[in-house]
Structure 1
Amino acid sequence: MKIGIVIPAHNEALTITNCLASVQTAIEQLPPTIAAYLLVVFDSCTDDTLALVKAAGVDYICCDYQCVGRGRDMGIRHAITQGATWLACTDADSIVTTDWLVQQIAHITHQPTDMICGVVSVDSWAHLTPQTREDYSNHYQDIMGHRHIHGANLSFSGEAYLAVGGFAPLSCHEDVDLVKRFETRGYAITWSNHVRVITSSRLEARATEGFAAFLANLEKSNLQ
């Protein structure tokens, strides 16, 4: 088995190094029978992200889509050509847990599945109001069987991914769209809080309706 880990990046020089280090640590926990291929997809980067990825010795491809859906799809399809049969997505502003990949393998092994939707934790609440943290905690279901969808923590079978047509060319909610198509086609989806990622609490959104925008809107409502 070979796992492809695909990370889209658009001007992520401040976070990419820690992200890649966490993924490398997760890869090191895999048994020798499982190979891993790590790929960064640079989409319209104008900062030092590329230089940092080169310094880390990680494979990469470049595009100028300015569209996370197209970037993710390009990366996933490239990883599949490199022999990956299971694909794991995270984001360049996130840190995966040490057992991120091991937990995915455990799910696949013990109860075969076509997709795993994992959970995210927020890296810091220090710059946000206590009410924003409370509102988020009341909203978020950190349990098995949750129904949250995060592009920063989404993994799936390569065969099923190709069968449903892959990520759509959307600038946001490409993850939600993909999950819906897996559901429509009757693929098995595991909603797991064992597969975990720690994501940035920044409020400067890369995607207009992504996680940062969600936090920013919560914070804005609490400051009014």
Structure 2
Amino acid sequence: MTPLWVVVPAYNEERGITATLTALAAQTDPDFTLVVVDNASTDATADVVRACAAAHPHLRVELVREPEKGTGAAADTGMRHAIARGAVWLARTDADCLPAPDWIARVKAAFDSGLRLVAGRLLPREDEGLPAGTRRLLIAAVTIASLFGRFRAGNRDPRYHGPYVMTAGCNMAITAELYALAGGFPRSKIEDLHEDRALVNAVRLHTDRYGSRRDVLVHGSSRRAKAWGLRRTLAWYADHRYRPPVVDIR
């Protein structure tokens, strides 16, 4: 077994997960094991994952099922499955994301530099029809939100060992021992809690060996921005100030 395991939670992603798995199969460093967590999907997500695994036999894939629907629950199940199988390092991306070809190599380099939690860079995908101007506005908004996050009351506590660092769940990595020490992702639903923010704040109670790495790059889906518009999407990510009737945009 490899020391690095990648966890991909997936809910009803039969139409999109092939692109994510293909990007992982094309990594310049193929030395990792992939865990896809089928999060109570009602479509053919699991069948698509099996087909992709068969099409890329060099890609070590394990498929597990989590019946409790929720991004936090699914991600935590995948992380703990990997730890039980001997993982030393854990990375996560999502089933609508495209990791850069050197993503695995860059994650390992970040760990080798001494980090125990790695917050990667997230850019909008360019293959979903989102106008270039809107993509640029989205990037700028995320940058501003990251800076604002350092000052918001919910991210400030005298017990923290270092400043807040925005850590997108779809592009992050953490050592297995720190994940366990921090308590892992809360087993929550996406409608209730941003599990990535909760995890990074739990990590900050234990160490200052975490940080952003711009070279750890993932292109994320903009389907919420297309469906809701930029303003409402930003409000959703800012403590769910916008609550849409349908969260799972497909």
Q: Same fold judged by TM-score > 0.5?
A: yes
Larger CA deviation: 93-102 vs 186-195: 186-195
**Aligned-residue RMSD, C-alpha:** 2.8
Alpha-carbon distance change, 199 to 126 in structure 1, aligned in 2, over 3 angstroms: closer
Asked if the contact 1:128/1:219 (under 8 Å) is kept, the reply is no
The AA in structure 1 aligned to 2:18 is T
What SS class does the counterpart of residue 212 from structure 2 fall into? strand
2:220 pairs with 1:217: no
Task: Please identify runs of 4+ aligned residues in structure 1 that moved more than 4 A.
Answer: 125-131, 212-216
The corresponding residue for 1:190 is 211
Please give the alpha-carbon distance, in whole angstroms, between the structure 2 residues aligned to 1:214 and 1:183. 33
1:202 aligned onto 2:223: yes
Q: TM-score, normalised by structure 2?
A: 0.74
Q: Which runs of 5+ in 1 are unaligned?
A: 206-211
Closer/same/farther in 2, CA of residues 68 and 126 from structure 1, 3 Å limit: closer
Aligned equivalents of 2:196, 2:6: Cα separation in 1: 15
Rounded to whole Å, the distance in 1 between the matches of 2:231 and 2:13 is 19
What SS does the aligned partner of 2:34 have?
strand
Identity of aligned residues (%): 29
TM-score of the superposition, structure 1-length normalised? 0.82
Contact 2:9/2:71, CA 8 A, preserved across alignment: yes
What are the within-5 Å matches in structure 2 for residues 86-105 of structure 1? Answer: 86-105=89-108
Q: Deviations over 1:119-163 (max 9, x none)?
A: 1111138755666444323323399x9943211101000001001
Q: Report which of the two has the higher share of strand.
A: 1
CA distance in structure 2 between the partners assigned to 1:151 and 1:161 by the alignment? 13
Q: Which amino acid aligns with 1:48?
A: A
1:152 equivalenced with 2:155 (yes/no): no
Say whether the 8 Å CA contact 1:168–1:174 is kept in structure 2. yes
**Aligned AA for 2:116?**
D
Q: Give the conservation status (yes or no) of the 8 Å contact 1:146–1:191.
A: no
